[in-house]
């Protein structure tokens, strides 16, 4: 947690497309539906 409006996170590898982002605290959790989008990397 950076401050009351900013969270820093590291994402695990994933398939291209949108995924939900869930932030959990001792007070509960909140979900941002399609809050992060993986993009396909360049092919080799």
Give the tens place of pLDDT for each residue, 1-44.
Answer: 899 899 899 989 999 999 999 999 899 999 999 999 999 988 77
Compute the C-alpha angle 34/36/42, nearest 5°.
Answer: 125
Which residue range forms the structural domain that includes residue 9?
Answer: 1-39
User: What per-residue confidence (pLDDT) applies to 16?
Assistant: 94
- Could you give the CA distance from residue 21 to residue 7 in angstroms, rounded to a whole number? 11
pTM above 0.85, yes or no: no
- Could you give the CA distance from residue 41 to residue 19 in angstroms, rounded to a whole number? 17
Q: Is residue 44 part of a domain?
A: no
Q: Is residue 6 part of a domain?
A: yes
Q: Is residue 14 part of a domain?
A: yes
Q: Is residue 29 part of a domain?
A: yes
User: What per-residue confidence (pLDDT) applies to 39?
Assistant: 94
Q: How many domains does the chain have?
A: 1
User: What per-residue confidence (pLDDT) applies to 32?
Assistant: 95
């Amino acid at each position: 947690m950076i401050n009351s409006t900013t969270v820093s996170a590291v994402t695990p590898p994933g398939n291209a497309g949108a995924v939900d982002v869930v932030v959990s605290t001792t007070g509960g959790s909140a979900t941002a539906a399609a809050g992060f989008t993986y993009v396909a990397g360049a092919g080799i």
